[in-house]
Structures are given as structure tokens and as C-alpha cells.
Amino acid sequence: MEVHVQNRAGAAIVFVLAGIFAISINDMLIKQLSGGYPLHEIVFARALIGIIVGLALVQIEGGWRILKTRQAHWHVLRGLLVVIANMTFFLALAAMPLADATALFFVAPLFITLLSIPILGEKVSVMRLSAVAVGFVGVIIMQRPWADAQALQASRLVLLLPVVSALTYALNQLMTRKLGVHSKASALSVYIQGVFLCVSLGFFLVAGDGSFVATDSTPSMVFLLRAWVWPAAGDAWIFLALGCNAAVIGYCLSQAYRIADAATVAPFEYIGLPLAVLWGLVIFGDLPVWEVWVGIGLILGSGLFVFLRERQKAKVAVKSPTGRRH
């Protein structure tokens, strides 16, 4: 049986740019809250507001009927991948500068290009694979394997968290491409927010009283396990903004990856790199060290190369389009 797959590159690029801008705002706000609230409380509030907005979008895109699916187990798996991607990245934010964590996370588009071969059956040339390898060299440089523990701003484990986040995020976006054939973007967003709600409530039931926080816990573990507290009046608007932002992110990225090839969309996510540097400097007064600048340059350069090769491939494909994927 053949399934039609959309490939509207122009619209997808607009959606991914909007989604990445919303993500940059999201990460900045979560870092601001990380010193006073537990991660699972932030995730719960964000998902609760996000699912309300998402359900409103469901009504616009077709009503309750579009929430019906025969692939519930795959949607749950996709939601869990998003949860892992978000929580590992947010845990890293509590212990390292915003720009550093974001730069390490931006190996995700390289993972997407690489994994699109076995998962989506997309063809990736040797030159594009070489560009991906250069990007991974940038990640290694940012990990600074030659530096001792005292010279690093975070532990080796924390430095790996954004890379784990990138891998699970890449898997999620590739699943979006497959599931998006049968599901609207608003439904995909609602499914994700539903999984976030379940996971955050589970954390609350197990660790919501803060009893698992030890006196020698790292900043990341404190962020994960501290007790729930009622938001201060001045922080309520941040929680509201996070919730609305979550709906925008879920919808825009789901829409981008369901209507265009992953290798076409992914390079445009690099707009998040300069945005992270900007927010880090303006809000937190942080500037990346030279190793991070080198890593950013290598990852950004490899991503742009992959994009340019994709455009060349698209021009050739126009002459003999297939329009279908089995």
C-alpha cells in the first residue's frame, strides 16, 4: 500500500523557524525558574496550559475526530522521546550556560540527517555524511576531553545530557515524519502534552515532597527532585508564557516535520544557536568559551553544507519527482 507524503518545503521552513524561536524563549524562561522550582512542576504547568491551547487548535483543524488514532502506542513512544529530550536538556540548563547547552544540543539536526537513512529510507550522499562527521568533531571539541574536571563548568555527565537530548529529539522528529502522514499537527501536539502531564504527575507522586534531595546533590539533581512550591506572584506570568509557548512549539515543529523531508527542515533549526548566545548574554551575562565558539562554527558550517546539498538534490528531483514513499 502506498502512502502520499507531503513535501511543502517553504511552509515547513516558516514553521520550523517559528518553533525554534519559541524554543529559545522557552529555554531562557526555564533557566530563570530553575533556581526556585522543580523541573517536574514546571513541566506540569507548561503541559497543562499547552494541552488546553492544543485542544483549541484541534477544533480549528477538524474537531475531536482528528484525535482518534490506530497508532496510539507509537504516539506514546514519540511522547516519551520528547519527554526525555526536554528533561535531559533542562537538567543541563540548571548546571551550565544556556549557549553551551544549546550548542551541544545542536548535534540534533546532524542526528536527524544520519538517522533519516535507516528510518525514513532517505538517500544521503557521501559528502553530506562527511559534513555530519565534521559536526560531530565540533561536539567533541565542546566536550573538551583534554580539560580536567576543575576547568569545566559542569561535570562530564552533565555535558553529555544535551547530546542525549539531541539524539532523542532527532528520533522524535523522524517519527513525526511517519506519524504525520495520518495525524494533524494539533493532534500530534496534544498527544505530546498528554505524555508530559502523565510523566510530571508521576514525578510529583514519587518525589513531589522533595525527600529525595540530598545535601550534596548537584544543581541538576536538585532541579529534578526539589519539592513543589506554589509559584510566586511575579513568576505566574512565566508559567503562563511557558504553557502557551509549549503549544506553539509542539504545533510548529510537528507541522514542519510532517509536511517536508527531515533533511530539508533540520538545518533551519540552527537559528537557535545565535538566539541562545543572545539570550545567554542579555539575560544571564554569559558568553561561550573559545572551544564552544569553535564547536558552534563546525556544527553550523556542516549544517549549512547539508542544507545546500539538499537544495541541489531537490532541484534534480523536480525533473523526475516520485511524490510517494512506501
For 13-53, what is each residue's pLDDT tens digit?
899 999 999 988 988 899 889 888 999 999 999 889 889 98
> Does residue 2 lie in a domain region?
no
* Residue 101 near residue 24 (C-beta atoms within 8 A): no
Residue 117 grid coordinates: 537513512
> Does residue 5 lie in a domain region?
no
Residue 57 burial (CB count, 10 A): 18
Indicate the Cα dihedral angle 286, 290, 294, 297, nearest 10°: 40
Phi, psi of 324 (to 5 degrees): -140, 155
pLDDT tens readout for residues 95-133: 888 888 888 888 887 888 888 888 777 777 788 888 888
**Structural domains of the chain, count:** 1
Q: For position 251, what pLDDT does the model report?
A: 85
- Identify the residue with better confidence: 322 or 298: 298
At residue 122's C-alpha, the angle toward residues 121 and 123, to 5°, is 120
* Residue 141 near residue 298 (C-beta atoms within 8 A): yes
| Sequence-distant (≥ 6) Cβ neighbours of residue 231 within 8 angstroms | 37, 45, 239
pLDDT value at 165 more than 90: yes
19: containing domain: 10-313
> Does residue 114 lie in a domain region?
yes
> Does residue 137 lie in a domain region?
yes
Residue 152 has what DSSP assignment? S
> Does residue 197 lie in a domain region?
yes
> Does residue 3 lie in a domain region?
no
> Does residue 326 lie in a domain region?
no
pTM summary value: 0.77
Q: For position 162, what pLDDT does the model report?
A: 92
- Mean pLDDT within 151-162: 78
